């Protein structure tokens, strides 16, 4: 006779988990759990350190124009001067899509302004990111400072000035044309992915810049050239379909064309453009975060 009361559990008997009503092997469940935690971790950590982020951000914004009599006036004057300069230099030879030909001077001014808003937002992060951790080296070495929050703070700082430029663009659109397209209501769908992309790029460049100063020199060399390889002063539509793939290999193209479509032309961007920019945003956001986390233990030793 077999005594059922004395039976023993198998030591390695698997414990089944259920996700959405389907049985999932423990190994698969662990991977799903780890991936899920990784995807939400940047947001959880940012919320956890929200007071620190706000405090440092306020300090950096105060120091931006410290000692200047005009102060924040420069945040408005600087993009306007750039707009006028580039418009005068390149306006005569500009070729725009057919929809922009109804009023060439005004349309080109708004057209180029959209490109400058997005491109300057990117270059501000690209220039500062490689030296960002060196700026806060004392805090990172001496305290339990969350270094991964610095790229978020730096990007939010740049967001303030980019928002001023975007507000100027909308004001010029309303002033010169007397109306705003309804598509400007969709601007958050451009701004949020672009913000995620820039945070990811800053995580990546700041981690690389912690190990070598060459990253900073590389950005200073590439950025001026990239301006003319990016459709800031022209539209990819003027180049013909054969150039489309090459132009969108430039990761900034989709973001620049999207802001122009929403504000200047009053149209919804093509579905493939939206899908491409979303992919670029999500990929660089989580890849940059992953890379920064991988290098974080060694960062304090090299900066």
40 in a structural domain: no
Contacts of 138 (CB under 8 A, 6+ apart): none
Contacts of 276 (CB under 8 A, 6+ apart): 248, 254
7 in a structural domain: no
Q: How many domains does the chain have?
A: 1
Strand runs (DSSP E) across 199-284, as ranges?
none
Q: Which of 122, 149, 121, 155 is nearest to 136 (CA)?
A: 149
Q: How confident is the model at residue 15 (pLDDT cuts 50, 70, 90)?
A: very low
271 in a structural domain: yes
pLDDT tens readout for residues 232-255: 877 777 776 777 777 888 889 999
Q: What is the domain range of residue 131?
A: 69-302
pLDDT tens readout for residues 29-57: 588 888 888 889 999 999 999 999 999 99
223 in a structural domain: yes
34 in a structural domain: no
42 in a structural domain: no
Cα-based distances in Å from 69 to 58, 66, 79, 281 = 19, 9, 18, 38
What's the Rg (C-alpha) of the chain?
Answer: 24
**Token pair of 19 as six digits:** 């996700």
| pTM recorded for the entire structure | 0.82
Q: Which of 205, 291, 285 is nearest to 39 (CA)?
A: 285
152 in a structural domain: yes
What pLDDT sits at residue 16? 47
153 in a structural domain: yes
């Amino acid at each position: 006779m077999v005594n059922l009361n004395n039976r023993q559990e198998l030591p390695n008997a698997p414990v089944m988990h259920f996700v959405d009503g389907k049985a999932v092997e423990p190994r698969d469940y662990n991977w799903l759990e780890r991936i899920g935690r990784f995807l939400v971790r940047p947001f959880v950590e940012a919320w956890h350190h929200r007071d620190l982020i706000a405090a440092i951000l306020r300090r950096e914004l105060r120091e931006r124009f410290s000692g200047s009599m005009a102060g924040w006036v420069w945040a408005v004057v600087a993009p306007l001067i750039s707009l006028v300069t580039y418009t005068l230099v390149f306006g005569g030879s500009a070729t725009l899509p057919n929809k922009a030909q109804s009023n060439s001077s005004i349309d080109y001014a708004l057209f180029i302004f959209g490109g400058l808003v997005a491109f300057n937002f990117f270059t501000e992060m690209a220039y500062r990111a490689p030296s960002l951790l060196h700026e806060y080296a004392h805090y990172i070495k001496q305290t339990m400072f969350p270094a991964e929050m610095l790229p978020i703070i730096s990007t939010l700082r740049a967001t303030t000035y980019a928002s001023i430029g975007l507000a100027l663009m909308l004001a010029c659109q309303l002033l010169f044309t007397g109306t705003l397209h309804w598509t400007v209501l969709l601007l958050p769908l451009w701004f949020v992915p672009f913000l995620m992309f820039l945070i990811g790029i800053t995580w990546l460049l700041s981690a690389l810049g912690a190990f070598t100063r060459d990253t900073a020199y590389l950005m200073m060399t590439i950025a001026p050239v990239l301006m003319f390889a990016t459709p800031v002063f022209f539209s990819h539509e003027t180049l013909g379909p054969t150039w489309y793939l090459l132009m969108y290999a430039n990761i900034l193209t989709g973001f620049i064309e999207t802001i122009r479509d929403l504000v200047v032309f009053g149209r919804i961007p093509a579905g493939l453009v939206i899908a491409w920019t979303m992919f670029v945003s999500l990929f660089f956001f989580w890849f940059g975060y992953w890379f920064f986390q991988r290098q974080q233990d060694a960062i304090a030793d090299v900066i």
